[in-house]
Amino acid sequence: MKRLNYLMNGLAVLAIIVLFSQCAGNADKQATNAPVQAGGLSEMKIAYVEIDTLLAKYNFCVDLNEAMVKKSENVRLTLNQKAQELDKQKQEFQTKYQNNAYLSPERAQQEYNRIAKLEQDLQTLSNKLQSELMSENEKNSLQLRDSINAFLKEYNKTKGYSMIISNTGFDNLLYADSIYNITREILSGLNARYSSPTKK
């Protein structure tokens, strides 16, 4: 169950990081496919966005992550409770069996089969709930990607960047002058456009 907890708590963040990589990849592809201006590479207008900052401070991303953590915690609590109940029944069965408390071997077998079915049902429920969480996480990732892509498309109509690069630590960008960092501007625009359902 602890493994499940770590898995669920990490799912949202992992998927969102992957999402931003995909989002940045799409933006890079669009920029790469754009014709190079007559002046060549020196005429290109380039900027970068710090993805870690967006993940931490874009309110839509924060809300999605908090919702996923809560749902993951609910799943963990539900599965833990059912597992504890099952363990209790297993122990009771074992005690009765060792004390010859069952009227017949057939009755003991029936109880054993019933508990085995409960265990199988719990595993099925665990798989189902985890699958639902993963599906919802994928849906959230798509919504987040669409939100950012839509904003960048609108934003760049007036800014005219040839390329907007994503930067996570040292993964994509080894060095760039901070004048090319438009993270605050992008973050401010995204948050201004987003209305949190919890604050309505």
Q: List the domain range (segments joined by +) for residue 101.
A: 46-193
Q: Looking at the domain assignment, is residue 87 inside a domain?
A: yes
**Splitting the chain (200 residues) into consecutive groups of 10 residues, what average pLDDT does each group show?**
42 42 45 44 84 92 95 96 96 92 91 96 97 95 92 93 85 83 94 76
Q: Looking at the domain assignment, is residue 106 inside a domain?
A: yes
pLDDT of residue 198: 61
Please give the C-alpha separations between residue 69 and each of 13, 53, 82, 83, 187, in angstroms, as whole numbers: 10, 19, 20, 21, 23
Q: Looking at the domain assignment, is residue 8 inside a domain?
A: no
Q: Looking at the domain assignment, is residue 161 inside a domain?
A: yes
Q: Looking at the domain assignment, is residue 18 inside a domain?
A: no
Please give the C-alpha separations between residue 188 and each of 59, 128, 152, 178, in angstroms, as whole numbers: 10, 38, 12, 17
Q: Looking at the domain assignment, is residue 108 inside a domain?
A: yes
pLDDT of residue 35: 42
**Domain tally for the chain?**
1
How far apart are the C-alpha atoms of 187 and 54, rounded to whole Å? Answer: 6
Q: Looking at the domain assignment, is residue 33 inside a domain?
A: no
Single-letter residue type at 126 = S
Describe the crossing of helices 183-193 and 59-98 by its angle, rounded to 10 degrees: 70
Q: Looking at the domain assignment, is residue 199 inside a domain?
A: no
